[in-house]
Structure 1
């Protein structure tokens, strides 16, 4: 799926939001948990925590930023979705193990290549007590097609011809052409269902601090103090007995200052936080106030090649630059060794239904770009671009951004290229992802690109010719044909083999330069337990699972 990245999605990724390869535990090659700056951190993935002993009156959770919006049409960043996932629900549910199961749609069918039919679950009520109907589903999904709304999830719907109520509890979505990805996106914000009445009544205030939301999740939104906090209250009439909230109240406090957030976790004044600073892990572990954990992710850190008219238009130059970057050294400096260097744009987490042959093709039968400055220099000589200048744009956002920009600059210079590093404001950096004019004269910039569905094909749909997020205008007819064929393929194994071919083509041509993947660090305080740590916290009601330790 193509979607505009805002600052929150980009900024937090350089070191802390890189995805891990699989759900099995792994550790850094040279770990030391003493907290010294020159040592890497011992780490392993955690996918389960102990079951809670019982309910708890209240939980306080630190959010690194106030949500931009709780309107599902605009909620596509970490601060927004970690709240929204516990209040609103989608037709399908993206689970912590990256599988999709029924949610507000108790079932779905695919009777023809162009239609997806959803049966709306009976007995579900919104937080105001009104029942969920097929009309609510039609109204909620149709907003993404409305240009006046300007949904951030429009690309999921760009192939939709119609959304219609076709029975008392039935909604049919008709596509313009076969599209396997539409249904796979119904477990995220693109599939959230809100009361049609609420949408009409709230209008432009829907989803903000005054209008709020009225959904079906295990918590209801009861108070939003702008600039301070959001308070959720357990919804006692919630339909899913297995996910009823274990806390009566759940408060998100906004703590943009990372030092203050870490101090609050150390003192126990807050019960946890997603995306804690990597450098704080040893200190938090030593505090005795809870557990610093690492959750599986779907994100990969990449250098976006945004100008193919200059030296980077030659694939030899792109390969040379990647080979000249000391990616392991960069990972050690930026993330204390937490994560893994990768040569592809997806993590294995989103290949869950792939065939063994597809996995082998996607991760083994690809070119591996080892750190080799001498070989990189030869490629630069062959390309005849020695002495040419590249412009790299960064922003004063954090140490990780500084490490990455320095590593890329040093790599380019080591193979005979000149680099102009431009530091822009965070707002100007955001514009790189949304405004083509902001990328004029820019050769490279960094992103941490996460996927919102359990299918690697989402990543490669982004890189087709003409896609909004294909920032450098890369084009490969064979790649486009393979991706389009995969989108039209329903069988997961057959689709995965086509996706693997797309991954091989992208790996060979490097429209972006893959750097590394790694987990999401979080802290769970000594009072609480019960969650299944996972990047699915963006769409799964994880807060409902937390109870008394």
Structure 2
């Protein structure tokens, strides 16, 4: 997930990007991409930061064993081929001659460890929900990795296309908790290598001359955080920044009117929702949660947050995953129309008929600030008072990943595969309800975990029935209130072009100078 996903930002007081007047030849400027983000990349390792800004850099630097194609299909990467001899076994054969950017060989031991480490409690991986089905990963010879699953899982390949970032075993073992930090860094075999990483000054990447694949079109990439949306837009408009995907859809008209910038949209593999911490205070009461669901004006939120580039979500899955599983016939579940009388009736059935007050932290630098204010206004109409507590970005996201003060959260996660087996365990398993997991609601049970296991192991109609069972339970119990699906934007200076779509993993690597 790349949880939209996604997360931590570090503000910068001024634009630190290169201006058009910087020294250097025209050729150097032509193949140097200056990329703006609304969040700072905070780790170069997916285990320690599975968020949009961080994975943006990770996937340009770190190879995965397999990857996804334009239609979401699984394709070879470091693994040139694989076999699936039985439901619990995958055997991967690695390419010859793949090297880390320092010249050391990428071994089967490195690859095997890079997968299994996500299940190591000492690592506390944020990608652990993607690998819970892995029982064992082992190198059986110099180029072969055997993966044994604890149970059959149809999503294994597509999920590991994201989570199986290959790092040196020796380096990762020495730094289980801080691999990828500015102090430790990382080492990859991808198309680019890191030449600078600072939490305040951003990341600089250069072309990796030892990369086994096609030569990247770009020679250099500079990534800088500009947390103020209008400052970022002006930087792109002036040419100080060449591209970004951090366009607020509600402000899309400002971007599409810029003369030297092409802003396009593609369907996101996202789900935006309210997370209700079912183990905390009044939110333990299902009637309270249903009252909240009826009270929130989702249509107004959709317009506020998407500016016409989104649609209402009634099911807790991204639209591309719903389409892949059900086609055009998604299941019918309990829904919650915006109806204050229905909301008050539900609240009257609860232990809090006169309402209550709930302290609710939110990210002061996040796009969801206005949305949380709108939610608070909606809930006030039925007697529920959200005491919104503005917090600095880093503090807020650290506390959220530690599962502290969760209460009511607004979350928008962007995923990476067409398989619902990626999302449902992430949001509903009890394993993911632990710190560093993304089950912020805390909802879960033995029975639900068993059904989630079924989702992974079943195929065809049986699988659809298992997913429908989960979605029906979520709609009835409301640990989450789905809000909207989104079309994601990408803005590029017309000096650049890029084939970026729903299933693009390496976004930076997909950009190239125009005409190349």
Do residues 411 (structure 1) and 385 (structure 2) align? no
Do residues 506 (structure 1) and 474 (structure 2) align? yes
Q: Which has the higher contact order (CA 8 A, sep 6+)?
A: 1
Where does 1:531-546 land on structure 2 (aligned, <5 Å)? 531-534=499-502, 536-537=503-504, 539-540=505-506, 542-546=508-512
Aligned partners of 1:64 and 1:413: how far apart in 2?
Answer: 31
Aligned partners of 1:202 and 1:276: how far apart in 2?
Answer: 35
Where does 1:356-367 land on structure 2 (aligned, <5 Å)? 356=327, 360=329, 363-367=330-334
Task: Assess if the C-alpha contact under 8 Å between 1:98 and 1:350 holds in 2.
Answer: no
Q: Which runs of 5+ in 2 are unaligned?
A: 12-28
Partner of residue 464, structure 1: 429
Do residues 93 (structure 1) and 60 (structure 2) align? no
Aligned partners of 1:210 and 1:413: how far apart in 2?
Answer: 46
Which of 342, 347, 350 aligns to 1:380? It is 347
Instruction: Report the alpha carbon displacement of residue 290 of structure 1 after superposing the two structures with TM.
Output: 0.9
SS at match of 2:429: coil
- Per-residue Cα deviation, 1:53-98 (whole angstroms, up to 9, x for no partner): xx94322211333311112422311111111111111111134543
Partner of residue 265, structure 1: 236
Partner of residue 281, structure 1: 252
Partner of residue 391, structure 2: 425
Which of 438, 442, 445 aligns to 2:409? It is 445
Change (3 A) 1:225 1:485: closer
Task: Assess if the C-alpha contact under 8 Å between 2:61 and 2:192 holds in 1.
Answer: yes
Aligned partners of 1:145 and 1:399: how far apart in 2?
Answer: 31
- Per-residue Cα deviation, 1:436-480 (whole angstroms, up to 9, x for no partner): 4x33xx642222233344311332223135641444443466544
Change (3 A) 1:276 1:223: same
SS at match of 1:423: strand
Aligned partners of 2:114 and 2:366: how far apart in 1?
Answer: 40
Task: Assess if the C-alpha contact under 8 Å between 1:465 and 1:475 holds in 2.
Answer: yes
Aligned partners of 1:364 and 1:159: how far apart in 2?
Answer: 27
Aligned partners of 1:332 and 1:3: how far apart in 2?
Answer: 22
Aligned partners of 2:430 and 2:169: how far apart in 1?
Answer: 36
Partner of residue 15, structure 1: none
Q: Which runs of 5+ in 1 are unaligned?
A: 12-54
Change (3 A) 1:119 1:518: same
Aligned partners of 2:413 and 2:73: how far apart in 1?
Answer: 20
SS at match of 2:255: helix
Aligned partners of 2:512 and 2:159: how far apart in 1?
Answer: 26
Instruction: Report the alpha carbon displacement of residue 271 of structure 1 after superposing the two structures with TM.
Output: 0.9
Aligned partners of 1:323 and 1:58: how far apart in 2?
Answer: 50
Partner of residue 315, structure 2: 344
Instruction: Report the alpha carbon displacement of residue 153 of structure 1 after superposing the two structures with TM.
Output: 2.0
Q: TM-score, normalised by structure 2?
A: 0.84
Partner of residue 58, structure 1: 32
Do residues 369 (structure 1) and 336 (structure 2) align? yes
SS at match of 2:231: helix
Larger mean CA deviation between 261-270 and 251-260 belongs to 251-260
Which of 225, 228, 232 aligns to 2:205? It is 232
SS at match of 2:152: coil
Instruction: Report the alpha carbon displacement of residue 355 of structure 1 after superposing the two structures with TM.
Output: 4.7
Change (3 A) 1:57 1:431: closer
Do residues 149 (structure 1) and 103 (structure 2) align? no
Where does 1:28-107 land on structure 2 (aligned, <5 Å)? 56-107=30-81
Aligned partners of 2:31 and 2:441: how far apart in 1?
Answer: 51
Task: Assess if the C-alpha contact under 8 Å between 1:341 and 1:517 holds in 2.
Answer: yes
Task: Assess if the C-alpha contact under 8 Å between 1:122 and 1:132 holds in 2.
Answer: no
Larger mean CA deviation between 105-114 and 507-516 belongs to 105-114
Aligned partners of 1:347 and 1:258: how far apart in 2?
Answer: 25
Instruction: Report the alpha carbon displacement of residue 434 of structure 1 after superposing the two structures with TM.
Output: 3.1
Aligned partners of 1:478 and 1:208: how far apart in 2?
Answer: 38
Change (3 A) 1:513 1:205: closer
Partner of residue 474, structure 1: 443
- Per-residue Cα deviation, 1:396-424 (whole angstroms, up to 9, x for no partner): 52574333223323333333x33132314
Instruction: Report the alpha carbon displacement of residue 142 of structure 1 after superposing the two structures with TM.
Output: 3.5
Partner of residue 321, structure 1: 292
Partner of residue 140, structure 2: 166
SS at match of 1:85: helix
Aligned partners of 2:454 and 2:416: how far apart in 1?
Answer: 21
Task: Assess if the C-alpha contact under 8 Å between 1:466 and 1:473 holds in 2.
Answer: no
